[in-house]
Amino acid sequence: MTAKNNKTVIVGMSGGVDSSVAAALLKEEGYKVIGLFMKNWEENDEFGNCMASYEYEDVIRVCDSLDIPYYSVEFIKEYQDNVFREFVEGYQKGHTPNPDVLCNREIKFKAFYNKAKEFGADYIATGHYCQTDAQARLIKGLDTGKDQSYFLYMVNSEVLKEVLFPIGHLEKKAVREIARKYNLSTKDKKDSTGICFIGERNFKNFLSNYLKPQAGPFQNLNGDLVGEHSGAAFYTIGQRKGLGLGGPGEPWFVVAKDIDKNIVFVERGLEHPALFTDELYLKEITWIKESYEAKFPVKLSGKVRYRQADQCLEVFPQDDGLYRVRFDIPQRAVTLGQSLVLYDGDICLGGGIIEKIGKTYFEMNKDLPKIVSR
C-alpha cells in the first residue's frame, strides 16, 4: 500500500492476532503507529504470576517485530467502577448482563480513547470486526461469522469519527494469512473466548466469588419439584448445561426465574413454548448517530444475541417510557439484561438493554409457528 499520511494512530493491543494485524496494516499504510496495552483486570495464576503480563509479553513481541513503540496503561479502577460493578448488580437482580458492551462503552471507546488523546493521537484503532463509513456510521464487518458490531452499539458517532477498524473488511482467514506474512508471534494464537475477565474458566465458580450461593428448588411450570439448584442468580434463560437434571425424556432448559423466591423454573425440550416470545421492552435506546424516535413506530431489524441472524421487528414508544419491540417471528430465550441491537441492513443503528419480556407462547396458550427463531 502507498503511504497515505503521517498521522498518529494508537492501537489498542490485546496480545491477540486481530489487534496485531491491525497494527501491521496501519503501519503499512504509512501511519505513525503506537501500541497501547490496556490492563483492565488484576488477577494472578496458580503460580502467583499476573495473568495480564502474559498478554503484554505478546504485545511487546509484536511491537518489536513491527518496530513500533508500545506502552501499558491501567484502567482497573475504571473497569471495576463502570463495568464489573454493574455486571455483578445485574446478576443480583436476576439479569444476565453483557459486560463486553459496557467495556466497549466505558473502557475501549472512552477511557482508552481519552488516554490516546493525551498521547496526541489523531486516531485510535482496534482489532474489532466492524467498519465505519464516511458519515461515521457503524457498519457490520465483512466476515459475518466474526462481525462485532453487536458489542459496539453504545459507541457514539462522534467517537467513531476518530476510530479505525483495519481488519473490518477482512475475513478471519485473511487476518491469519497477514499475520503469517509478517511472521507475527500471535499468528497461530488461539482466539480468546468467553467473557473478557473470565475467559474459559467455569463461570459459576467465578461468579460464586461475588454472589453468595443459596440453595433453592428447580420447579416445572406445574409447580412440581424436579431438583435443587445453588442460587437463581447463577442461571440464565435457555440454559441447558450445568443444571444437574437428568431422567428419561428431552433435556431440561431454564425457562423462567423468580429471583425473590429463589426459584428456577425448568421444562423439557429445546422448543418448549415457555422459551419463546415475540415481544420485549427496552428501558431506553442508545442511537449511534441518527435517532429514529421521530419515525416511531418504525420497522427495522435486530438481534437479541451475538451471531444471531437479523430478525424483522417493529419498535413502538409507550407512555410509561419503555419501548415495545414486536418481532415478526418468535424469539427463543430472550433474557433480561442482554441487549437488543438494531440494524438497517448492514448499518448498526444502536440498541438497548432488555428490561422486560412479553408473554411467552406458553402463557398465551398458543402453539408455536412452524418457523421459529433461535
**Which residues belong to the active site?**
103, 196
* Phi, psi for residue 21 in degrees, rounded to 5: -70, -35
- Which residues are CB-neighbours of 68 under 8 A, at least 6 positions away? 23, 27, 33, 34, 35
Following DSSP, what letter does each residue of 128-194 receive, concatenated?
-SEEE-TT--EEE-S-TTT--GGGGTTS-HHHHTTEE-TTTTS-HHHHHHHHHHTT-TTTTPPPP-S
For residue 223 the three cell numbers come to 409447580
Strand partners, 341: 303, 351
DSSP 50: B
Q: Which of 368, 334, 341 is nearest to 151 (CA)?
A: 341
Q: Are 290 and 329 in contact (CB under 8 A)?
A: no
Q: Are 319 and 309 in contact (CB under 8 A)?
A: no
DSSP 104: I
Q: How far apart are CA 219 and CA 245, in angstroms?
A: 11
Q: How far apart are CA 78 and CA 364, in angstroms?
A: 44
Q: Are 97 and 91 in contact (CB under 8 A)?
A: yes
CB-count burial class (<10 Å; 0-12, 13-18, 19+) for 275: buried
Q: Are 38 and 73 in contact (CB under 8 A)?
A: yes
* Phi, psi for residue 109 in degrees, rounded to 5: -115, 20
Q: How far apart are CA 240 and CA 268, in angstroms?
A: 10
Other C-beta atoms closer than 10 Å to the C-beta of 361 total: 20
DSSP 373: B
C-alpha distances in angstroms, 278 versus 38, 303, 331, 352, 353?
40, 12, 6, 17, 16
In three-state secondary structure terms, 259 is coil
